[in-house]
Structure formats: C-alpha cells, structure tokens
Amino acid sequence: MTSYRTLLLDLDDTLYPSTCGLWQAIGDRILAFMTERLGIPADKADVLRAEYLHSYGTTLNGLRIHFQVDPYEYLTFVHEIPIDDFLQPDPKLRAMLANLTQKRVVFTNSSHYHAERVILRLGIVNEIDQVIDIIALDFTNKPEPEAYRKALSLAGEQNPTACIIVEDRFVNLIPAKSLGMTTVLIGDSQKHPQVDFYINRISELTSVVPNLNDGPPSSEVG
C-alpha cells in the first residue's frame, strides 16, 4: 500500500474547471504582450506562442530566449486578469483538501501572485500549505525534469514515490512518472502508460485515488 506524503497540484485548468474561461483570458493577455510590447504581428504571435509552448513548456521561456523579455514584466502583464469574473468559491474542493493529511503544494508555471489570487478566490487559502511558482523554480518550468527535482526539494520531499501529482497536461506528467511519482490527469480520459489515474474534476481526487487519505500528517514530510 502506497503512503503518500506530498500532493503536488497544478494551478490553471486543474484547481478550477477549464470551461471557466480564465486560461483563455490569460492566453489573450499573452498574445497582447507579444503584439503590444514586442511588436510581433498578431498572426505570427499565435503561431510563435504554440511553438514556444511545445518547445519550452511556456511562452515565457521562449520569449526570454528569443526576445530577451523581462520575465517579471511579462508575468505582471499576463496575469492582470479580473479573477472574480471567472472563478467562484469551491466548497467541495475546500472540503476535499481539508480532509487530506498530505502536504498540499501548488506547483505551477505561473507566478506566485497569480496563484495566490486564484487560491483566495476559490476559498482554499487555509488548505494550501505551499506555492512553488516559476520564480521559485528559477524559471525552470514544467515539463523540464529539473523543475520537478527543484519542486521536490522546495517541498521538503526526499522520496518521489511518496508524492502524487495532479495535472491537466499529459506532457507535464511524463517527467513526474519517470521520477517515480504517482500521476493523475484531469480532464482527459485518453489512456497513457505514464498516467496512473484519471479524473474529470479536482474534487474527484480522493474518490478515485486509493489510500490518498492514508498518508502521514504533512508535518512529517521530509
């Protein structure tokens, strides 16, 4: 029986439904940054964004490499979104997280500022123990394997097999699985050998993953 100590939770399109439109709004801000701040034509910006996401895992790191953008300027710009227009408090999510004994860590390619705003709006501030963002990762982002190793270190987890990770992007679970983490894919039922469990919404996590409530208290992590 697996005893989990650390729960790594992706943020966007994972802690909230992908249908709410928030990620689309962020995508629009990313394209606006590329066109307004960098002068990239709109039709080319959309193509470049897709290319950078595929090659580097984030648009940001593609722009850092090819356009030498200031990452802090970029993150501030793209996350200036009226969060309350897209998200509502989620009592089911709060109750599910509150019943877990694992250390509950948000692990995101976004900024800490954006993560905090989302967590606050969802009403789960007291149910999240730590946020590991792109800045804490020194801009090494998922799915780069080093991002996962850094996240484990920052979370104080020495054993990847005691960690479960939840993501909405299959590609971000491949390095996690190779390290020995238990993987959960949200919103996609297509079968992959690197995915251990599938859920439609984050609130289903404890009903689908056996033994998730059997781990030691989060204070014992490490």
Give mean pLDDT, residues 120-125: 98
Q: What is the mean pLDDT of the chain?
A: 94
pLDDT score of 1 more than 60: no
CATH number of 6-17+86-220: 3.40.50.1000
Residue 216 confidence (pLDDT): 52
DSSP assignment of 26-76:
HHHHHHHIIIIIT---HHHHHHHHHHHHHHHSSHHHHHHHHH---HHHHHH
Provide the CATH topology of domain 22-78.
DNA polymerase; domain 1 (1.10.150)
pLDDT category of residue 190 using cuts at 50, 70 and 90: confident
Token pair for residue 175? Answer: 């390095």
Residue 213 confidence (pLDDT): 72
Residue 145 confidence (pLDDT): 97
Lowest-confidence pick of 85-89, 195-199, 213-217? 213-217
131-147 pLDDT, tens digit per residue, is: 999 999 999 999 999 99
pLDDT score of 64 more than 70: yes
What is the Cβ-side half-sphere exposure of residue 73, based on CA atoms within 13 angstroms? 10
Could you tell me the residue ranges of all domains in the chain? 6-17+86-220, 22-78
